[in-house]
Chains A and B, each alone.
Chain A
Amino acid sequence: MPMLWSAVSYALALAAQGSALSQSEARQIELTQRSIVTIVRSGRSTGSAVLIDGKRLLMAHQNAVGGAPVYARAWDGTQLQLVLLTTDAPTQLVLLRADKAVPGGTKLSVARSIGDKRLFAIVPDRAILAEHAGAGQMGVMNATQRLFTLNEIRFEAPASALAGAPVFNFRGELVGMLGATLEQPGEALADAGDPAPSAAMSMRARAKFGPGTMTVAYSLTADVIQRVVAGFLSPSLKVQHPVIGVLIRDAQGGGVLVEAVQENSPAAKAGLKTGDIILAMNNEEIGDKIAYGRFMARQEVGNRIILAIRRGGAQRSLSVRVGS
């Protein structure tokens, strides 16, 4: 029993030390908050928007915005009116324009990769410490069924209005925006329809630490955020995500089975048909949908891809130009 008490007290001491914030970190949070506005709807804070051009253009999650009109409050209390300019459906991020320049705002710097484990997220009117808990996980956005790479972000503080909360490293670089939160423990396992959840999934669903329940959230990776910001700042305001226009699933024996081909898509133009099995892309073996997603995530719009497919027992090659 004394040993148990000793271990518990030591763990508590470590946990207390882990939450300490240095003065330089606090300063970084303060500076970063100047480029964030709090979105207000019906007198209630519903989320955060991040300044992407240093002046009036802001990026947020569509959940935070809802229907027009949208108001916002800057870090110094300045009230702004926001106009919705465009929505990027695959990522559910929206571009907003403020009626005046955000005071003290600076141009956003997007990280090349998430890098650090210790991060912070800005939620309405406050910042919370967060931890990068996993990289390279693939996520499916239900609205478009597109695969994106995600980062798993965890934090202890209970928080609402998390949709689109920008996540930064302590160099002040944007590393992601929260796009979803993991379903509460119990519900996730019951509703997944998965008869045998892995030990990691069960452990994560049950995991708790500190005084509150741990929140597990997912953010789009920095490369996707960079693509969205570039699109929003372009004259067309359109984001170009690399796609060829197919719906796929894992094929038995390896490869991915083409379930559907979108009309007038690059895949349709190249002659890809429902029932084809994609075995390789640019000589890179495509064993399953995850491999397909990772390959496509590395592509740029306009790239040419050579597909090795199997159709009716025969193998052949097709050339597809990546579209958006």
Chain B
Amino acid sequence: MNYRDEDLIKLAFGELDETEAETLRKELAADAAASSQIGEYNWIKEGLSDLRPVPPMQYSTERLRDAILGEGLNVRKRNPLALILAWTPAGAFGVAAVITGVMLMRTGPESLVPANLQSETSLAQVAMQMDDLHRPLLAERAFRTLDDQVRASTEFKVGFAPVAEETAEPEPKDASPKVRFAAQPTRSAPAVRRETQRTLTPETPAAAPVMEVAAPETADAATEQAPPIVMIGSEDDARTGAPIATEVRFDANVVVGG
């Protein structure tokens, strides 16, 4: 005979009245499966009674909110002293900036340069002071070095000088991203050469400085095209109790189903 789970549970938990309970007990005596089931429910009942006492619940909105803020969010209370200490360096920096500004206004930027450096001359000034015999040799060395940098470097060169009108070097057909970065500097080698020559010619004012900015790594530029695939394994993380996930590259040789 089949019994409804709820009747068996009520019997086990003492929720039936005496008459109903007695009737059901008699019926169950002849039903081994149901007797086993009721035994399991009795076991559950004992288990429930062994549960830890439940702490008083947070009926009040305010108390619950405090509990969330205090335990769940781990909010850091602001210590006024800590706040003052944290912002003191900022104030000091501000004062230093004001003092520096006043100095600049009164004495000019030279006052910030150490005296020993003020006496040194720039490369362009050296070239200007050299006689005609030495100037070509120095210029040749200088622009060959820059030319080599442009060809071999994987760094962008962002300059204020205009981009050369001369034809840029052809891009290799099967260039990997790394090769492409090397073959496409923002300024071509001839333009750099002309700038070098201008720098070393006394009649021409020196070109604007060149700012160098590191290019992104080419391997990463390729992998950023798609996010990695998340592999969710069957092992669990002891810390979080959740299955462990690892990430593999989107182009990894993974077999998937569907």
Contacts and interface: CB of A to CB of B under 8 A. Distances in A.
- Do these two chains interact? yes
Interface of A: 1-3, 5-6, 8-10, 12-13, 16, 19-21, 23, 26-27, 29-30, 33, 40, 43, 46-47, 61, 63-64, 69, 71, 73, 75-77, 79, 81, 83, 92, 99, 126-129, 134, 136-147, 150, 156-157, 159-164, 178-184, 188, 191-194, 196-201, 204, 211-212, 215, 217-218, 243-244, 246-250, 259, 288-290, 292-293, 296
Given A2-B96, A69-B44, 5 more contacts: A129-B73, A146-B256, A147-B258, A218-B245, A249-B255
12 contacts: A19-B76, A69-B47, A77-B54, A79-B51, A139-B229, A140-B254, A147-B258, A181-B245, A200-B227, A243-B258, A249-B253, A259-B255
A204 B220 CA distance: 14
A110 to B, nearest CB: 21
A181 B217 contact: no
Interface of B: 5, 9, 40, 44, 47-48, 50-52, 54, 57, 59, 61, 64-65, 67-69, 71-76, 78, 86-87, 89-90, 92-93, 96, 217, 219-220, 223-224, 226-234, 236-237, 239-258
Nearest to A46: B241
B250 A30 contact: no
B90 A198 contact: no
A157 B73 contact: yes
A163 B224 CA distance: 29
B217 to A, nearest CB: 7
Nearest to B65: A26
Interface of A, helix, strand, loop or mixed by DSSP: mixed
B119 to A, nearest CB: 29
A95 B184 CA distance: 59
User: Which 5 A-B pairs have CB atoms at the shortest separation, nearest pair first?
Assistant: A5-B89, A2-B93, A9-B86, A139-B230, A180-B245
B93 A183 contact: no
B63 to A, nearest CB: 10
A47 B236 CA distance: 14
Given A19-B73, A77-B57, A126-B72, A163 B253 contact: no
A145 B92 contact: no
A211 B93 contact: no
Contacts of A9: 86-87, 89-90
Contacts of A29: 68
B257 A64 contact: no
B88 to A, nearest CB: 8
Given A81-B44, A126-B72, A182-B247, A160 B256 contact: no
Most chain B beta carbons < 10 A, residue from A2, A3, A129, A293? A2
A76 B64 CA distance: 12
B237 to A, nearest CB: 5
A6 B68 CA distance: 31
A194 B252 contact: yes
